[in-house]
Structure 1
Amino acid sequence: MKAKLQFLRRISAQAVQKTAAVAAITVAGTGAAMADPAAITAAFGSVSTSAASMISEAWPIVTLVMGGLVTIGLFKKVISRAT
């Protein structure tokens, strides 16, 4: 029983150390990213351009899908009234 408790304490201590290391790396990375506002602006500009490009490529597909759904709905309505 004592060995199990020691094992659990050791695992717990390792988890705390790993969590502290991850937190320190995260804080350091955030600080480094905040140090260069020009890089942040460039990154957001790049993301914005990519998002606009993806949206413009998706519109034809969206209109086709919506048109197909409306057509199917109308077809079902006509068929149900014809029978």
Structure 2
Amino acid sequence: MKCCTKKIQTIIAGHFGLGPDLFGPLKTLSKFLICMAMAAIGLRTNLFSLVKNGRAALLVSLICWLGVTVLTLIWQAILGIW
């Protein structure tokens, strides 16, 4: 999918007369903006309210996270990676 995305970006940039040297700064800018958005969301989160009202959702997410972690480690052991 990344390959196709890069081709589309190049075609669009070429259509508007932009060179490939512009992609580096735009990539850095996009990472910065994502970090800023995530920080803004995190700073506005009330953890006490989240734990109080969302215990079931937090428990399900913890179980899913642990399941994915365990299965990944087992799969890596089977493949001899870990």
Query: Which category describes the TM-score, using the shorter chain as reference length?
Result: 0.3 to 0.5
- Structure number with bigger Rg: 1
More RCO (CA 8 Å, sep 6+) = 2
TM-score normalised to structure 1 length: 0.38
TM-score normalised to structure 2 length: 0.39
Query: Which is richer in helix?
Result: 1
